[in-house]
Structure 1
Amino acid sequence: MRNVARTSLVDTAIEELREEITSGAWPVGTKIPSESQLAESLGMSRLSVREAVRVLAHAGLLTTRQGDGTYVTATDESQIALRRRLDKAAAMDIIDVRRGLDLVAARLAATKRTEQDLEGLHETLRRRDAAGSAGDLDGFADADVDFHLRVADAAHNPLLGELYRSMSEALRDSVRGMEEAALEPDSSHEDLLRAIEDGDASRAVAVSVALLDQQERDL
């Protein structure tokens, strides 16, 4: 980072740190340098750096762990705004949105999936089934969302994948909210995988519709 000598030091520090985050120099999960290290590299006081970190933490790009340090939690503030809106969305609203995304993902995945995509889907479904059998709701929710993320990835449409990832926490919460109903055995996900594996776009869409209809009834 370049040395800074400007009037609004806090604003400048915010922009410098934001650039490190959004450029990918500090990926998500990275522990950023300490306040003293940042102050030295930017040529400003620790107080200015501390305020800049506080602003970026409030924006959702950083999170500070007491006694540990500060970590990057996101790289795009627009995605954070969407995620916060989704966190407040009703479960039915989420299903309504998924009716658009899931049907497109299923149709495209059936025509564009690769062998690697299919291997990943099978592995994720095995984890989902194992968690369900063990009564592990958190593990089940994680694997369930991962399965649908992999379906979106198998569509090989980067925008669709990003949209689905922005909803991932809200999706996990919606699965957890169904509690026992979520863990009941069903073949819908296996049917969806089989349709994608067979390259049958129409059947993949039909299974996705039925799956969402069932989730709506379980709410």
Structure 2
Amino acid sequence: MTNPLKRSLVDIALEQIRQRIDNGSWALGERLPPEPELAERLGMSRNTVREAVRVLAFSGVLEVRQGDGTYVRARTDPLEIMLTLARGSIEQALEARGVIEVEAARLAAQRRDEDDIAALRAALQASADAHGLDLEQYVECDLAFHQRIVDSAHNPLLSELYRYFSQVIGAGLRQTISEPGRPQPAFDLHRQLLDAIERGDADAAGAANRALLI
């Protein structure tokens, strides 16, 4: 069983390390002091500091290089971002989803190739097979379809952003689909979206994706 006091001390160490990275005391790419010195600076035990470093390395903020040291890899903690996203409302998640998906659909219509179209057709068919049956399977298939659309925009940064955000989108889908009395988008809209992308109609693709989010 986890010791509550140890967890509290680790949280304090995490916050102190994050603050030093945020205020520029430790810049991106800079090596942190050795563990004994770091523990002394933070006023913590080496075990506590070691655990805090492990957590931040797992989340991608720090990078531990064996035989070399620990380096600052990022200023933003993805785990904290996920917690913030998870605290948002369904309406806020839909707004954020729209910002990403609508523009991605427009770009996909302009940039897609034959491989993209084939992958989109397969993903849409899998989504159609699951529609109205198993909720969990449908959500996974729907997310896969929309991820394919974003990927068809051929912007790796946009693809990674959507992949990162998809967990929050999935939670919103599960709630909106299962909520009694809430209007559900017609599955035909997904087909209209794919058709618009296939024929290269950016305006129609954006409109179809926007309609799915109403």
Per-residue deviation at 1:79?
3.1
Does the CA-based 8 Å contact 1:127-1:143 persist in structure 2?
yes
Alignment match, 1:145: 143
Aligned pair count? Answer: 161
Alignment match, 2:176: 178
2-structure distance, mates of 1:132, 1:105? 23
Per-residue deviation at 1:7?
5.2
- 1:114 matched to 2:113? The reply is yes
Paired amino acid for 1:156: H
Alignment match, 2:203: 202
Alignment match, 2:127: 128
Q: Residue deviations 1:108-138, cap 9 Å, x none?
A: 00010111111211111112111224x2111
Secondary structure, counterpart of 1:155 in structure 2: coil
Does the CA-based 8 Å contact 1:10-1:48 persist in structure 2?
no
Does the CA-based 8 Å contact 2:189-2:212 persist in structure 1?
yes
Does the CA-based 8 Å contact 1:105-1:155 persist in structure 2?
yes
- 1:8 matched to 2:9? The reply is no
1-structure distance, mates of 2:80, 2:57? 9
Q: Residue deviations 1:6-36, cap 9 Å, x none?
A: 8525969xxxxxxxxxxxxxxxxxxxxxxxx
Q: Residue deviations 1:134-184, cap 9 Å, x none?
A: x21111111111111111110011221122112110010011002346987
- 1:98 matched to 2:125? The reply is no
- 1:158 matched to 2:156? The reply is yes
Unaligned runs of 5+ in 1: 1-5, 13-46, 63-74, 214-219
Paired amino acid for 1:162: E
Residues 1:49 and 1:193: Cα distance change in structure 2 (over 3 Å):
farther
2-structure distance, mates of 1:10, 1:80? 26
- 1:190 matched to 2:170? The reply is no
Does the CA-based 8 Å contact 2:36-2:46 persist in structure 1?
yes
- 1:89 matched to 2:88? The reply is yes
2-structure distance, mates of 1:78, 1:141? 27
Paired amino acid for 1:195: A
Does the CA-based 8 Å contact 1:109-1:156 persist in structure 2?
yes
Q: Residue deviations 1:26-63, cap 9 Å, x none?
A: xxxxxxxxxxxxxxxxxxxxx9689635643477539x
Paired amino acid for 2:35: S
Does the CA-based 8 Å contact 1:10-1:49 persist in structure 2?
no
Alignment match, 2:20: none
Secondary structure, counterpart of 1:178 in structure 2: helix
Unaligned runs of 5+ in 2: 1-32, 40-44, 61-72
Secondary structure, counterpart of 1:192 in structure 2: helix
1-structure distance, mates of 2:193, 2:114? 16
TM-score, length basis structure 1: 0.63
